[in-house]
Amino acid sequence: MLGFSYDADHALLLLGRLDGRLAASPAADIWLARARLQGAATLAQAAGVPIEVRDLQDWIAGRTAPPRHSEGLNDPLSIAALFHFALSAGEDSRDPLNRATLNLSRQILDDRQEAALWGHEDIVRFGPLWREAGQALEAPYPTPSLLAIAERIVATRAALQMPLTEVPLLTTADGRQWRPESSRVDLNWLIACHVPLSLQRAGLALRFLPSFTDMPRLLPGEPALLERMLRENICRRALSGLKDLDRIEARMARAPMDLNVTRRSKAPLLLRLELAYPGLSRTAVARLLGISHQGATKLLAQISGLL
């Protein structure tokens, strides 16, 4: 509800509700896969390279190259590098399901290889700061509270330093020369990469929740103000996550998961993969399931009308 101020207890209640639902949901792995894409799209908006989840789905499914890679929009970084940073922030989450789904995601599209191909300069430029932010935000917290996280974020942002963007010397028509004031690169998205893991490290979430990457564009210097923004973002994201989980479980209930196939059939697994990564190409399916392209074509035709 726009303009409604959520208190910390309400935010943590919704967070715990989503945590509890995921602990018992048969769709937890599918939700995590989709949540990674939502988290990356949220980060891209914050970084000034706006994309939608469907853009990432097209890339992962093999229909397109990375979004915005050739549009000439002078983006501050590539989507390939940002996607790699987003996924890698959850590698050490100590969550077996997160690790399993991350490994599966990398079998479909290896973000490490894609970043090396499309965003090598961005990895070199932002990698050290990304690691520095991760070490700070994932360290033990004195208390399990949003305020403790907000204090750590404010301190981390103050500690991160990036060289000023080099601005060329300009010459006016009458021969005068001047150099515009240098601008600093926005690093809030880089910190936001690690917010999902900081929630887990602080003891506020049992599971790694990769879609919780919301951060204000203008980071306040007062932890109390940032704490209020964080809890409002957490409420919105938790409500959205619960609704998405409801939708996935409803689709699973409608789809005939018992396909009357043999125990060795790959069709049930492909059905789940399609829920997580819609529109997978035949090549991706063949690679994932270890079958021929002809077998992948038959499987895709078998499940095409079930979703």
The residues facing 178 across adjacent strands are 170
CA 245, distance to chain mean position in Å, is 16
pLDDT computed for residue 279 by the predictor: 86
3-state class (DSSP) for residue 224: helix
* Alpha helices by DSSP H, the chain: 8-24, 28-47, 53-61, 79-88, 96-108, 111-118, 120-137, 146-159, 188-192, 195-201, 223-254, 267-276, 282-289, 293-303
Instruction: Summarize pLDDT for 165-210 with one digit per residue, the tens.
Output: 444 555 665 666 655 544 455 789 999 999 999 999 999 999 999 9
Nearest to 88 by CA among 246, 194, 181: 194
Amino acid at 145: S
Nearest to 156 by CA among 105, 201, 195: 195
Centre a 10 Å sphere on the Cβ of residue 263 and count the other Cβ atoms it contains.
Answer: 5
Block mean pLDDT (10 aa), the chain, length 307: 60 95 94 96 94 94 88 87 96 90 92 95 95 95 96 94 54 60 69 96 95 89 95 95 95 67 70 87 85 88 72
pLDDT computed for residue 9 by the predictor: 84
pLDDT computed for residue 125 by the predictor: 93
pLDDT computed for residue 268 by the predictor: 79
The residues facing 170 across adjacent strands are 178
Amino acid at 184: R
User: What does DSSP assign to residue 170?
Assistant: E
pLDDT computed for residue 183 by the predictor: 45
Token pair for 205 = 């979430």
Give, for 178, the enclosing helix (H) or strand (E). Answer: strand 177-178
Instruction: Summarize pLDDT for 121-157 with one digit per residue, the tens.
Output: 999 999 999 999 999 999 999 999 999 999 999 999 9
